[in-house]
Amino acid sequence: MLWIVLAILAVVALIGVTLYNRIIVLENRIKNAWGQIDVQLKRRNDLIPNLLETVRGYAAHERELFTRLGEARERSLHASSVPEQAKASNGVSAALGSVFAVAENYPALKANENFLALQAELSETEDKIAYARGFYNDAVLRFNNAIQTVPGNFVAGPMGKTPQVALETPESEQAVSKTSFA
């Protein structure tokens, strides 16, 4: 009888250790996924001053636009939490979209090699950010599922693990763009 009790305790301990390790691995994946987003956000923030200098020469009177992009970049650089960084990142994306929309009014700017290269790099970076955000949200979903379902919730509670928040797409990016073939 003693051996049966010891075997049951060993199985329970093994399951507990396995669940504990799984939760830690999933939590580390969230941190890694955020790190990937952070790398791309830093890259984007490093490109913005070059873009501003290139555009400023052509569209000097668009001062409000430059100020808004600069302020959005500063908020992004100084954000201290994931939700703050996500909100700041959305602001930078919106401001960059405005810069590129204004650039449409300046044919010489649209033909400028520096502008085209920066636009391509920023577009590529935005794509990487979107992919990294998806990866982050997948990691959050796996983690939340692991800590909120049985038997993981029995281990996660004592570990002090709480559900993480997925990154949301801002309303400005959710709108379906209209295409006209007129």
Q: Does a cis peptide bond (omega within 30 degrees of 0) precede residue 151?
A: yes
Asked if residue 36 belongs to a domain, the reply is: yes
Asked if residue 179 belongs to a domain, the reply is: no
Which is more confident, 57 or 167? 167
Instruction: Give the pLDDT confidence of 120-158 residue by residue, as tens digits.
Output: 999 999 999 999 999 999 999 999 999 999 999 999 999
pLDDT of residue 60: 72
pLDDT of residue 170: 64
Asked if residue 19 belongs to a domain, the reply is: no
Mean predicted confidence (pLDDT) in 51-57: 83
Structural domain count, the chain: 1
Instruction: Give the pLDDT confidence of 18-27 residue by residue, as tens digits.
Output: 999 999 999 9
Residue-range definition of the domain harbouring residue 70: 27-163
pLDDT of residue 176: 45
High-pLDDT (> 70) share of the chain, %: 93
Axis crossing angle, helix 152-159 with helix 2-56, rounded to the nearest 10: 70
Rounded to an integer, what is the distance from CA 42 to the centroid of its chain? Answer: 11
Asked if residue 178 belongs to a domain, the reply is: no
Cα–Cα distance between 138 and 29 in angstroms, integer?
10
Asked if residue 21 belongs to a domain, the reply is: no
Asked if residue 154 belongs to a domain, the reply is: yes
Q: Is 35 exposed, middle or buried (0-12, 13-18, 19+ CB in 10 A)?
A: exposed
Burial 93-111, CB ≥16 within 10 A → b, else e: bebbeebeebbeebeebee
Mean predicted confidence (pLDDT) in 25-51: 94
pLDDT of residue 150: 93
**In the chain, what is the straight-line distance between the N-terminal and C-terminal CA atoms, in Å?**
83
In this structure, are residues 29 and 143 in contact, taking their beta carbons and an 8 Å threshold? yes
Cα–Cα distance between 166 and 82 in angstroms, integer?
10
Token couple for 70? 């600069």
